[in-house]
Amino acid sequence: MASLTSLLSEPTLIGLLCALFLLFILYVSMGPKKSTLNFPPGPSPLPIIGNLHLLDIRRQDLSLMKIAEKYGPVFTVHFGLQKAVVLTGYEVVKEALLNTADVFADRPAIPIFYHIQNGNGVFFSSGELWKTTRRFTMATMRDLGMGKKLIEGRILEELHFLIEMIKSFNSELTKTKDLETSLSI
């Protein structure tokens, strides 16, 4: 009995027990409750790490397929504190992209790219800005002849000029080598 009271008087042990208790409370509160955002079912996440403990670092695809066996082709996983909806299988992905494309069009910001581009650009923007930028880019590329035979002719013409320029440099290089050879003899 004396050893138990001496252990409970250790501040490090008390702090550790309090931390474990708080983690347990977090785990219970984040348990398998229905989300207000109506996410599909998925494995219960652990505090802070989410479902990362279920993923094999080298083969995440196989880990996600294993989860899909239990929860179906559409499920939610937590990558740390970030929730993600996973779609597995051709039919489910096709259904999502064709029939409900607006729901899946937006994506979360990737912090490093958001910092670099301030949320602008074609590749890493989202929402209405992405739609507007994409529309402008596609219209401009169409005006330049993208998707028409016209652009093929322009590319071939530019390629011809590039080849001629390389040949001219090559002949200059050959003349320089001949001059160096004649001077060294």
pLDDT in tens, 9-56: 677 777 887 787 777 776 666 655 544 468 888 898 888 888 888 888
Whether the Cβ atoms of residue 80 and residue 50 lie closer than 8 Å to each other:
yes
Does position 83 have pLDDT exceeding 80, yes or no?
A: yes
pLDDT at 111: 78
Nearest to 68 by CA among 49, 48, 54: 54
Helix ranges (H only) for 43-145 are: 60-71, 90-99, 101-104, 111-117, 127-143
Nearest to 53 by CA among 76, 78, 30: 78
Give how far the C-alpha of residue 10 lies from the chain's centroid of Cα atoms, to the nearest Å. 46
Whether the Cβ atoms of residue 130 and residue 121 lie closer than 8 Å to each other:
no
Residue 77's pLDDT band (cuts 50, 70, 90): very high
Q: φ and ψ at 161, to 5 degrees?
A: -60, -40
Residue 168's Cβ-count burial label (10 Å; 0-12, 13-18, 19+) is exposed
